[in-house]
């Protein structure tokens, strides 16, 4: 289930949307995994286990967290699942809109 990307306003900001994503990003293995997916594009678990030197069970754990945070998506091809970056979510997290939320107000 994909959560809608909230529009930030001064009156009402939904920080829970960002909390889940930033928690998912707060792990070195998951950051490494995202980096690999950015460089290689869609990859299956069999390729990722080798590249990350992780057993399949631990890799699945990290993939689930990234999927739940909507940072990656999966596509089933035959018996394999292929994972790729969810560019909409990642682009939103890196957006000027979010950056502006955490910049101090400039005095006029």
102 pLDDT band (50/70/90 cuts)? low
Report the pLDDT averaged over residues 72-98: 87
Residues 24-50: tens digit of each pLDDT: 999 999 999 999 999 999 999 989 999
> Is position 83 within any domain?
yes
> Is position 45 within any domain?
yes
> Is position 6 within any domain?
no
Q: What is the spatial distance between Cα 83 and Cα 35, in angstroms, rounded to a whole number?
A: 12
Q: The domain containing residue 91 runs over which residues?
A: 27-101
Q: What is the spatial distance between Cα 80 and Cα 37, in angstroms, rounded to a whole number?
A: 16
**CATH number reported for the structural domain that contains residue 55 in this entry:** 1.10.10.10
Q: What is the pLDDT of residue 81?
A: 92
For residue 91, pLDDT over 90 is answered with: no
Sequence-distant (≥ 6) Cβ neighbours of residue 5 within 8 angstroms: 17, 88, 89, 92
How many domains would you assign to the chain?
1
Report the pLDDT averaged over residues 87-107: 71
């Amino acid at each position: 289930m994909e959560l809608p990307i909230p529009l930030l306003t001064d009156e009402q900001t939904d920080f829970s949307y960002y909390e889940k994503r930033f928690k998912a990003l707060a792990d070195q293995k998951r950051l490494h995994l995202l980096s690999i997916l950015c460089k290689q594009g869609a990859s299956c678990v069999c390729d990722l286990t080798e590249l990350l030197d992780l057993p399949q069970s631990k890799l699945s754990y990290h993939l689930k967290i990234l999927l739940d945070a909507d940072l990656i998506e999966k596509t089933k091809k035959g018996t394999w699942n292929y994972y790729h970056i969810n560019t909409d979510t990642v682009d939103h997290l890196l957006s000027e809109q979010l950056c502006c939320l955490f910049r101090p107000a400039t005095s006029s």
